[in-house]
């Protein structure tokens, strides 16, 4: 789980640099904020699932579903807050950064050795 969140952070930074080169500072910040709207909830969920797996008796399956709901709600709240608070928002860069972070796990699939 930590590898996935670390990869999402790295992919977000790369997307931010590319957006910055193509669209300037506002696009760079928008892409990074979009990626962070995905990374932060995933990081919190990964931490909570790891913590629940360390409990005596093992993890509770309901924990996964509860934290998945919390992750989705937090993602939506962060996207809403970003749209309301960042006035120089570049929507294309924000969505690009979000999608890059969201789909960065594909890199792990190709890098996985049998």
* Full DSSP string of 29-88: HHHHHHHHHHHHHHHHHHHHHHHHHTSTT---HHHHHHHHHHHHHHHHHHHHHHHHH-TT
CA atoms of 11 and 24, how far apart (whole Å):
18
**Lowest-confidence range among 25-34, 76-85, 88-97, 101-110?**
101-110
Task: Please give the pLDDT value at position 113.
Answer: 59
Average pLDDT, the chain: 90
Q: Each residue of 43-75: pLDDT tens digit?
A: 999 888 888 878 777 677 888 888 899 999 999
Task: Please give the pLDDT value at position 61.
Answer: 80
Q: What is the pTM of this model?
A: 0.86
CA atoms of 84 and 45, how far apart (whole Å):
25
């Amino acid at each position: 789980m930590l590898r996935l969140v670390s990869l999402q952070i790295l992919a977000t930074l790369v997307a931010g640099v590319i957006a910055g080169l193509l669209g300037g500072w506002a696009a760079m910040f928008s892409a990074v904020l979009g990626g962070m709207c995905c990374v932060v909830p995933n990081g919190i969920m990964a931490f909570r699932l790891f913590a629940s797996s360390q409990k005596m008796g093992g993890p509770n399956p309901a924990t996964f579903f509860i934290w998945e709901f919390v992750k989705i709600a937090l993602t939506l709240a962060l996207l809403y807050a970003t749209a309301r608070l960042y006035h120089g928002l570049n929507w294309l860069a924000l969505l690009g950064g979000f999608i890059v972070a969201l789909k960065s796990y594909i890199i792990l699939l190709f890098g996985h050795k049998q």
